[in-house]
Amino acid sequence: LESEEAIGTQTSSRNSEVIHAGLYYATNSLKARLCVEGKHKLYAYCDAHHIDVVRCGKLIVATAEDEIPELERLQEQGRVNGVDDLVMLNAAGAKAREPQLTCVAALLSPSTGIFDSHGYMLALEGDLEAHGGMIAFHSPVLGIEGDGKDFVVQVGGEAPMTIRASLVVNSAGLGAIPLAHKIKGLDPAHIPEQHFAKGNYFTLSGRAPFKALIYPVPGKASLGLHYTRDLGGQGRFGPDVEWVDDIHYTVDKGRAAQFYDAIRRYWPALEDGDLQPGYAGVRPKIQKPGEPPHDFVIQGPDVHGLTGLINLFGIESPGLTSSLAIADDVAAK
């Protein structure tokens, strides 16, 4: 059941299209395990389905000496998480790889890449249909109630209907928490608070300056204002973090000033006027502003007590990279 007119029109289509290596996330967290597992599954899936992918690598850069310990911590965290290909580079080594880069040290992640997320989602849709599945578009879920044996799902939209289901997976992304509140019998204590962290992107006019992806050391709420590029070679910067009360995708061109300041720390050659408003996405956060990052929540009957119900909350980055591994976890539950 899909409330929109097509698949993947919200969070899934408004991101950096990066395949993450899995080095940032806390030891033994779902994000750490599922990102590393998902990365391998995703590369294999793209290869098998002829989806465009480039293992361009990523450099996480320290632009001041006091940031080097954070790179060392990330390298160790990556090792603990099973990311064993990370390489520390000095300033000369980083500049040899990326001549326009300015930094005092960098951590190289060779297994980071970019891919065609839209092609990926279309392949998943094709797999679903090939296995007898069907997607009903314009079909928002109005309510779910258990009758002791199955779930009765009330569906609105252009063709209202009632569906009886033995298994319900709430994977509604930005809508997962509001949907959970419509499930009769689900204790609200098991539903986290919802917070929206908008991420704005600015596109780069002119030639892309780097072959690899460039990331600063991460902040509390995001991985920093990083440089990525699409498969066509268009460079872009973002996302930033803008805590908002509702979902909207307008990019305020006035935010460009802070982009210039952040980017020039590792690319001083950026000139005024080179950045243009691009697009925005909204992260489905389950943490408040100022709190440390929360883990994915994949919640089954062992937690909430409703047989046949799986809730997915807080599936933000690295949700795209982790998606196939998340699916395996849901299937296992």
For residue range 43-97, what is the model confidence (pLDDT) as tens digits? 999 999 999 999 999 999 999 999 999 999 999 999 999 999 999 999 999 999 9
My answer on whether omega of the bond before 318 falls inside 30° of 0, hence cis, is yes
For β-strands 168-170 and 183-184, DSSP reports them as: unpaired
- How distant, in Å, are the alpha carbons of 199, 261, 326 from that of 257? 15, 6, 37
Angle at 181 between CA 177 and CA 186, to 5 degrees: 110
Q: What is the pLDDT of residue 222?
A: 56
Tell me what pLDDT residue 148 has. Answer: 77
Q: What is the pLDDT of residues 111-133, one digit of tens each?
A: 999 999 999 999 999 999 999 99
For residues 138 and 1, give the distance between their C-alpha atoms in angstroms, rounded to a whole number. Answer: 8
pTM: 0.95
Residue 307 identity (one-letter amino acid): T
CA distances to 17, 81, 107 from 70, rounded to whole Å, are 25, 16, 10
Question: HSE (CB half, 13 Å, CA atoms) of 125?
Answer: 14
C-beta of residue 172 within 8 angstroms of C-beta of residue 293: no
CA separation for the pair 236, 227 (Å, rounded): 6
173-205 pLDDT tens trace: 999 999 999 999 999 999 999 999 999 999 999
For residue 223, the SS3 value is: coil
**Buried (b) or exposed (e) across 118-141, using 16+ Cβ within 10 A?**
ebbbbbbeeeeeeeeeeeeeebbb
> Residue 205, CB half-sphere, CA atoms under 13 Å: how many?
8
Give Cβ neighbours of residue 262 (< 8 Å, ≥ 6 apart): 216, 224, 225
What is the reported pLDDT for 221? 47
Tokens found for residue 318: 């690295």
- Long-range Cβ contacts of 150-158 (<8 Å, 24+ apart): 150/308, 151/308, 151/309, 153/1, 155/1, 157/3
